[in-house]
């Protein structure tokens, strides 16, 4: 009975990516934004195969009896994944071919193949090939002695020659733009793939061979780092040495041109040592994630979203003394609606303020050109004590994080890393300032990373506070990160893996108690992902008791509505729109005296039990009202919200109210709170 209450997280994730695909179909979105959603869908799917499908294949290697006891069915799940991905890929191809391409043409933009080149365009393509492309090509020969190596997610042509031999040649889209603009004629703009330029010149690459056929392929590899067996305690060094494994990891998917004959597909499998399960048909071109940078030679603003310039914060952006403003009252920033400047100003002012004694921060993903990290270097130069916790296991950002870690340490920062068993996913910062012989702490607790670039597209919330109830407990969290304390003692903050699960259980139990007593009871929860079975069981328990449960889950949701009695009191929606919903908000009715928390943790087992996460209560009454209103707008979204139901229909949510596109309504709401002109 229990298993029917849950949806497999990977299958639910595919449903989420289906919502991304819906955005590419939605003609309410401008053309170039729909193209970007195709790119996001493609990028998401690549990572899914590198990470999740790879894990399922590792499970298949576990002894069958153990899998049976653990109720693991990787083969069945993989088959279902393959079926769903193939269906989505067909929809993807149809959108691109039947909708996007014709609409580009209607706007005077023609994406053409080599077969459509005019003689003049052939000459232009040849000149471009010789001057910009040729030097970057890599020929990967095929021999019987060894399996040829294809780099992860890189593009190649597979060529078979008339003499029966074969070879691979790279498509160097990492060094040359994937899209090449050809000369315009008669008010028409022409763009072609780099792939087509190479294909046109392929006979000049292999002058002594006659090409029988040429098809594009792409190989995805396992993204996991396997280094536990020889772990020696130095996690940074181990990860640095293991990063090369990602480049040569086990193949998880070979994407090939669906027009490739069976004989060539079989030959390709033998050449690369793959099985049928590794082979996935695709279109003529791969790596549609490159369409994130698809050029618009028309410069037509109607083909793009209208700008929503970041708003100044009504208090912090005009404050002469940011610390005095935070001391006077808690302040909250909402990205991408607000500018990221207050966060940068906070750390930059701290780096030069003579009263600041220490700066402490945890960094999960650091931008390559991070202004925040540069401000930390300035603070070190000015003699401030700086403690930086850098997470070295943030997937795909390991190398960059370690590079900044070294640089900060070289300049005198106290740098710490996580250990083997746990990640630090919290987004926290604290400065200590000597004010009239008292040590005053100022803290920042966020749902998002300290990254200016992602703050423009990720919807997050960040709280600045000088409230001693919060800052005192946050100081203990930093002591844990500094290895000075085993666990924090907290009454106000939720800190994983120490108190978050228990505190959420208590909050839900109180709602159950209130519902049974006929008192107001309800939960409004916004998160990225819902997976933890015990938390889902608590949701069912609450709903069965009469608690009104409203969930907003952007990504995968393992709650499957299998409990009919509980389902009557549960409603789940998901918003996929212009910005990526990344914030977490937890609201509990509490018999008319609501409680609300925000922070870095989702209701996933890893966030509750295997990561250090921090969630803060919202005590300031004005911020409480502000965040509650934002949550209300999101729960009432009837333009971009989809129903998350047992049928995984992804149908649009309707509430018979006037249209509410929450991201635009939030922008308008926050703009009204700005006391100065924003243009």
- For every residue of 24-56, DSSP letters joined together read HH-TTS-HHHHHHHHHHHHHHHHHHIIIIIHHH
Where are the alpha helices (H) located in 183-291, listed in sequence order?
194-200, 202-205, 235-247, 262-272
pTM: 0.89
One domain for residues 277 and 135? yes
Domain boundary among 82, 107, 132: 107
Secondary structure of residue 238 in the 3-state scheme? helix
Share of the chain above pLDDT 90, in %: 73
One domain for residues 272 and 170? yes
Residue 232 has pLDDT above 50, yes or no: no
One domain for residues 324 and 383? yes
The pLDDT of 281-296, averaged and rounded, is 93
Q: Which residue has the tokens 């493609």?
A: 42
80, 56 Cβ separation under 8 angstroms: no
The answer to whether position 300 is within a domain reads: no
Share of the chain above pLDDT 70, in %: 90
List, by residue number, the catalytic residues. 425
The answer to whether position 297 is within a domain reads: no
User: Exposed/middle/buried for 598, CB within 10 Å: 0-12, 13-18, 19+?
Assistant: buried
351-368 pLDDT per residue, tens: 999 999 999 999 877 767
Average pLDDT, the chain: 89
One domain for residues 85 and 120? no
Tell whether 643 is in a known binding site: no
Q: Which residue from 631, 613, 37, 668 is spatially nearest to 294, judged by alpha carbons?
A: 37
Secondary element (H or E) of residue 300: none
One domain for residues 409 and 557? no
Residue 551 has pLDDT above 80, yes or no: yes
The answer to whether position 500 is within a domain reads: yes
The answer to whether position 353 is within a domain reads: yes
Model confidence at 62, pLDDT cuts 50, 70, 90, reads very low
The answer to whether position 679 is within a domain reads: no
Tell whether 619 is in a known binding site: no
- Contacts of residue 356, defined as CB under 8 A and 6 or more positions apart, other chains included, come to 350, 379, 384, 431, 432, 433, 434
The pLDDT of 37-62, averaged and rounded, is 78
User: 314 versus 185: which is more confidently predicted?
Assistant: 314
One domain for residues 501 and 401? no
One domain for residues 154 and 180? yes
Q: Which residue has the tokens 């912090």?
A: 316
Query: Where in the sequence is the domain holding 439, given as residue range(s)?
Result: 316-487
Q: What is the Cα–Cα distance from 201 to 555, expressed in whole angstroms?
A: 43
Secondary element (H or E) of residue 634: helix 621-635
488, 544 Cβ separation under 8 angstroms: no
One domain for residues 587 and 658? yes
Q: Which residue from 533, 497, 534 is spatially nearest to 423, judged by alpha carbons?
A: 497
CATH code at position 483: 3.30.870.10
Largest CA distance in the chain: 86
CATH code at position 258: 3.30.1840.10
Q: Tokens standing for 656?
A: 């018979």
Q: What is the Cα–Cα distance from 637 to 631, expressed in whole angstroms?
A: 10
519-546 pLDDT per residue, tens: 999 999 999 999 999 999 999 999 999 9
One domain for residues 255 and 163? yes
Tell whether 442 is in a known binding site: no
The answer to whether position 181 is within a domain reads: yes
Residue 571 has pLDDT above 70, yes or no: yes
Q: Tokens standing for 549?
A: 């449960």
One domain for residues 240 and 371? no
* Beta strands 611-617 and 494-496, pairing class: antiparallel
The answer to whether position 309 is within a domain reads: no
Q: What is the Cα–Cα distance from 427 to 123, expressed in whole angstroms?
A: 53
Tell whether 461 is in a known binding site: no
The answer to whether position 407 is within a domain reads: yes
Q: What is the Cα–Cα distance from 582 to 222, expressed in whole angstroms?
A: 26
Q: Which residue from 627, 626, 602, 597 is spatially nearest to 613, judged by alpha carbons?
A: 602
What is the per-residue pLDDT for 403? 80
373, 366 Cβ separation under 8 angstroms: yes
One domain for residues 229 and 263? yes
Domain boundary among 107, 142, 159: 107
Tell whether 458 is in a known binding site: yes
Tell whether 554 is in a known binding site: yes
CATH code at position 97: 1.20.58.310
One domain for residues 660 and 551? yes
Q: What is the Cα–Cα distance from 447 to 581, expressed in whole angstroms?
A: 11
Task: Please state the domain count of the chain.
Answer: 4
Model confidence at 437, pLDDT cuts 50, 70, 90, reads confident
The pLDDT of 382-410, averaged and rounded, is 79
Domain boundary among 487, 503, 528: 487
Residue 222 has pLDDT above 80, yes or no: no
Secondary structure of residue 646 in the 3-state scheme? coil
Where are the alpha helices (H) located in 145-257, listed in sequence order?
194-200, 202-205, 235-247
């Amino acid at each position: 009975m229990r298993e029917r209450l849950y949806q497999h997280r990977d299958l639910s994730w595919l449903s989420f990516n289906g919502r991304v695909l819906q955005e590419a179909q939605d003609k309410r979105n401008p053309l170039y934004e729909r193209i970007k959603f195709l790119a996001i869908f493609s990028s998401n799917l690549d990572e899914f195969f590198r990470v999740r499908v790879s894990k399922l294949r590792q499970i298949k290697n576990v002894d069958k009896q153990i899998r049976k006891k653990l109720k693991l069915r990787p083969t069945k799940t993989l088959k279902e994944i393959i079926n769903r991905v193939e269906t989505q890929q067909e929809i993807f191809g149809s959108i691109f071919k039947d909708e996007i391409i014709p609409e580009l043409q209607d706007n005077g933009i023609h994406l053409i193949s080599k077969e459509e080149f005019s003689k003049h365009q052939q000459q232009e393509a040849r000149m471009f090939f010789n001057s910009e492309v040729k030097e970057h090509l890599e020929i990967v020969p095929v021999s019987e002695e060894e399996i040829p190596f294809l780099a992860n997610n890189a593009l190649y042509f597979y060529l078979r020659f008339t003499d029966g031999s074969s070879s691979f040649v790279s498509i160097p889209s990492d060094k040359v733009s994937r899209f090449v603009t050809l000369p315009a004629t008669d008010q028409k703009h022409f763009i072609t793939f780099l792939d087509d330029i190479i294909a046109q010149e392929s006979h000049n690459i292999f002058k002594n061979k006659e090409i029988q056929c040429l098809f594009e392929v792409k190989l995805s590899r396992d993204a996991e780092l396997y280094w536990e067996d020889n772990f020696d305690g130095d996690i940074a060094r181990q990860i640095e040495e293991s990063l090369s494994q990602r480049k040569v990891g086990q193949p998880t998917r070979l994407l090939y041109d669906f027009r490739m004959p069976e004989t060539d597909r079989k030959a390709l499998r033998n050449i690369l040592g793959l099985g049928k399960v590794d082979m996935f048909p695709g279109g003529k071109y791969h790596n549609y994630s490159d369409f994130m940078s698809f050029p618009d030679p028309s410069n037509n603003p109607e083909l793009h979203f209208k700008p929503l310039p970041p708003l100044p914060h009504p208090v912090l952006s005009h404050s002469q003394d940011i610390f005095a403003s935070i001391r006077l009252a808690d302040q909250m920033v909402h990205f991408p609606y607000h500018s990221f400047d207050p966060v940068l100003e906070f750390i930059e002012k701290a780096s030069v303020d003579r009263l600041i004694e220490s700066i402490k921060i945890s960094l999960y993903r650091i931008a390559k050109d991070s202004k925040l990290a540069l401000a930390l270097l300035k603070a070190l130069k000015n003699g401030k004590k700086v403690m930086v916790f850098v997470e070295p296991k943030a997937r795909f950002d390991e190398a960059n994080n370690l590079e900044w870690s070294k640089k900060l340490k070289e300049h005198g920062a106290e740098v710490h890393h996580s250990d083997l068993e746990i990640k630090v996913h919290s987004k926290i910062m604290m400065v200590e300032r000597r004010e009239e012989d008292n040590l005053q702490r100022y803290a920042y607790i966020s749902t998002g990373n300290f990254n200016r670039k992602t703050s423009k597209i990720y919807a997050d919330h960040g709280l600045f506070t000088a409230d001693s109830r919060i800052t005192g407990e946050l100081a203990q969290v930093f002591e844990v990160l500094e290895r000075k304390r085993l666990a924090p003692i907290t009454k106000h903050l939720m800190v994983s893996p120490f108190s978050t699960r228990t505190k959420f259980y208590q909050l839900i139990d109180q709602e159950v108690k209130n519902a049974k007593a006929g008192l107001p009871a309800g939960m409004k929860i916004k998160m990225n992902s819902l997976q933890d079975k015990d938390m889902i069981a608590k949701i069912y328990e609450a709903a069965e008791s009469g608690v009104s449960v409203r969930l907003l889950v952007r990504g995968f949701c393992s709650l499957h509505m299998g409990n009919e009695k509980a389902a009557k009191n549960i409603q789940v929606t998901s918003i996929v729109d212009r910005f990526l919903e990344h914030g977490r908000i937890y609201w509990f009715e509490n018999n008319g005296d609501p409680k609300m928390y925000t922070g870095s943790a989702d209701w996933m087992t890893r966030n509750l039990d295997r990561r250090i996460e921090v969630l803060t209560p919202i005590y300031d009454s004005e911020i409480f009202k502000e965040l509650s209103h934002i949550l209300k707008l999101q729960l009432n979204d009837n333009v971009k919200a989809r129903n998350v139901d047992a049928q995984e229909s992804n149908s649009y949510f309707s509430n018979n109210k006037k249209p509410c596109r929450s991201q635009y309504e939030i922008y308008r709401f926050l703009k009204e709170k700005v006391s100065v002109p924003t243009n």
